[in-house]
Amino acid sequence: MKNKWSCLAVACLATLLLSLDLTVLHLALPTLVTDLGANSTQLLWIGDMYGFALAGLLVTMGNLGDRIGRKRLLLIGAATFGAASAVTAYAPNAELLIAARALLGVAGATIMPSTLSIVRNVFTEPGERTAAIGIWSGMSAAGFAVGPVVGGLLLGHFWWGSVFLINVPIMLLVLAAGIMVLPESRNPHAGRIDLASAALSFAGVVTAVYAVKEGAHKGVAHADVLAAGAAGVLLVGLFVWRQTRLAEPMIDVRLFTRRAFSASILTNLLAIFTMSAMMLMFGWYLQLVLGWTPLQAGLAQLPGGLSGAVGGILAARLVHRIGRNGVVALGLAMNAGAFLYYSTLGLSLNYLTLLPFMLVGGLGVGFTFTVNNDNVLATAPRERAGAAAAVSETAFELGGALGIAILGTVLNTAYRAGLDATATSVATGEARESIAGAMRAAQALPTEKAATLVRTAQVAFIDGLHLTSLVTSGLLVVVALVALVGLRGVPKVIPEEALARA
């Protein structure tokens, strides 16, 4: 076999770029309003189209990689991602940008499960596999951390398209290195992909994610949200039912009877549900309450992401000391402690006091996702690695959307309640939508009223941040207990012969 560590380096480079690409767009959105004249609806689709395409196609692409070869699919995805990045960077209008973002999502759906399934098939020794997945998870965490910094630097010197154009040379490197070092692997007994299952999985996941996102804006009781949610549940249910009827299903639903698999999927989903709150809150807090620039905010969050990368690498060693359930529960508990501290943040900040809690929380993220990803892949047959990786990544995407929608609603509800409690006449309309809306509304007011609105909005946001942090901390404690019980008895080392018992 070709050098396995070189294979890991290629997989990590592709994963790093995907994670980075997920975060840089948020910094560029304000510029798109000016340069492309994008309206609020177009901005929403620019932000969401990538995620819709990505989440909806993960299961299908994971299965496609099992059938046609993971290396082949990764190389096709890398080439497509690079081309779509160039189109995105030079999009002359919002409509073409939305279409290019959709193509980026399709390409991303081919890359994400391919990288993880390649790692699973190259590293067959259990200890090395866990370490390799730890490094892979660490690179994903590092990408999320580095993204805002890279985006801030590029936007400070170049036009908005530069945040996408940087993808092109990196993807060319992935292509060149992948052709040379990656071995091909596929399921030798795979049949054709069931097109009805592919359609059901895409429609079900996209509808469910759409319902979650709309619920954050319109409220969960809105008729459109309830209809979309019901349709999503029905479509996903039909997909699962169809898998039980096929000789070669896209997802072997019997995997969910294995505790290591099902408990890891569940805790991963719930963990990213809570952790997505940190990205949501800190971006607003650092920039709109403390007045930091996007680059300063990105640099401030960088240590937490890098700490997550370190946690991913250390997780393999820790498993041998306290077991898989112990490492996942410890990681979640560490994050619960960090969020408990976040509930004390105020209108001013001593960064050196915040830093240790960010580092502890980052380590916890690395512990949790490394072990859970290893559990999922180790308890699925090697020939089904792409499908198993796709299930894990889909849970990650769905958990992130749920977290931002539900915890974002908690934050905004507390924010509006804080504004209403002040009974100030300037805190109306756009200012009640979000703290960002309050800052925009303040620009049109006289100096004294603007200062009043800004201060009122900042205090209300801090109240919302405190409540959301406490809720998140409590949820993390519950998820830690779920992991401690749900993963109890899963062996520290999961060799191939133990798959049937895991």
The answer to whether residues 226 and 179 belong to one domain is: no
The Cα angle at residue 386 between residues 17 and 234, in degrees rounded to 5: 100
DSSP one-letter string for 23-40:
HHHHHHHHHHHHHT---H
Cα torsion angle, 207, 213, 219, 222, sign: negative
Q: Which of 139 and 354 is assigned the larger pLDDT?
A: 354
- State both tokens at 183: 């071995």
Residue 494 confidence class, pLDDT cut points 50, 70, 90: low
d(CA 272, CA 201): 21
Side-chain-facing half-sphere of 381: CA atoms under 13 Å:
14
**Which pLDDT value is given to residue 113?**
80
- Give 79's pLDDT tier (boundaries 50, 70, 90): very high
13-22, 188-197, 257-266, 296-305: least confident range: 188-197
pLDDT over 70 at 351, yes or no: yes
Q: Are 295 and 421 members of one domain?
A: yes
CB atoms within 10 A of CB 161: 20
Is 374 in the same domain as 500? yes
Do 284 and 140 fall into the same domain? no
How far is the C-alpha of 395 from the C-alpha of 269, rounded, in Å? 5
Lowest mean pLDDT among 58-72, 355-369, 434-448: 434-448
Residue 479 clears pLDDT 80, i.e. is over it: yes
Q: Compute the distance between CA of residue 443 and CA of residue 453 in angstroms, rounded to an integer.
A: 10
Distances (CA, A) of 479 to 214, 250, 321, 476: 26, 29, 21, 5
> Is the same domain home to 367 and 234?
no
Write down the pTM of the prediction: 0.78
What mean pLDDT is predicted for residues 63-86? 87
Domain boundary among 191, 206, 240: 191
For the chain, the domain total comes to: 3
315 and 360, same domain (yes or no): yes
Instruction: Encode 42-65 in three state secondary structure.
Output: HHHHHHHHHHHHHHHHHHHHHHHH
Same domain, 391 and 297: yes
Same-domain pairing of 198 and 312: no
243 and 285, same domain (yes or no): no
Report the Cα 149 to chain-centroid distance in Å: 18
Q: Is the pLDDT of residue 501 over 50?
A: no
Domain span including residue 217:
194-249
Q: How many angstroms separate the Cα of 222 from the Cα of each of 401, 442, 476? A: 18, 30, 28
Give the pLDDT confidence of 457-469 residue by residue, as tens digits.
888 888 888 888 8
Residue 265 has pLDDT above 80, yes or no: yes
Tell me the percentage of the chain whose pLDDT exceeds 70: 86
Q: What integer pLDDT is reported at residue 499 of this predicted model?
A: 43
Residues 207 and 179 in one domain: no
Say yes or no: 167 and 29 in one domain.
yes
Same domain, 356 and 395: yes
Q: What is the CATH number of the domain that holds 84?
A: 1.20.1250.20
Cα separation of 436 and 30, whole Å? 11
